[in-house]
Amino acid sequence: MASVNGVYGAALNGTYAAAKAAVIGLTKSLAREWAPRRINVNAIAPGLIAGTGMTTPDADASKGLPSQEVLDAAVARIPIGRAGQPADIASLVSFLASPQSNYITGQVIEVHGGMEQMY
């Protein structure tokens, strides 16, 4: 699991963005290494997904999580008009685990409703 922050970077969240960028690099490397064995390797890069630990507002910012105001502003910038749901990610995971995706490898699939940067 990657993140749009690993694709586009993230102000004030450089270590997280760097870690997710590493996941992307590893995905692409392993896809090439394991392709001869018919093992597909892909990454999913979610944007703002509601109902997760990273999108629970932190009123006092003690955990480094965004405030409700920041989350509301982020949702307002999503072109599709809503935050993602865990089911949006789960359905992609299911597809990638199925035989229907057997020719897809080395890809980073962004799931963000059209908003490429969260904050």
The yes-or-no answer on residue 16 being catalytic is: yes
Distance, CA of 112 to CA of 47 (rounded, Å): 4
Give the β-pairing of 108-111 and 43-46. Answer: parallel
Nearest to 56 by CA among 17, 78, 83: 83
Q: Which of 8, 16, 103, 119 is catalytic?
A: 16
The dihedrals phi and psi of 78, each to the nearest 5 degrees, come to -80, 115
Annotated catalytic residues are 16
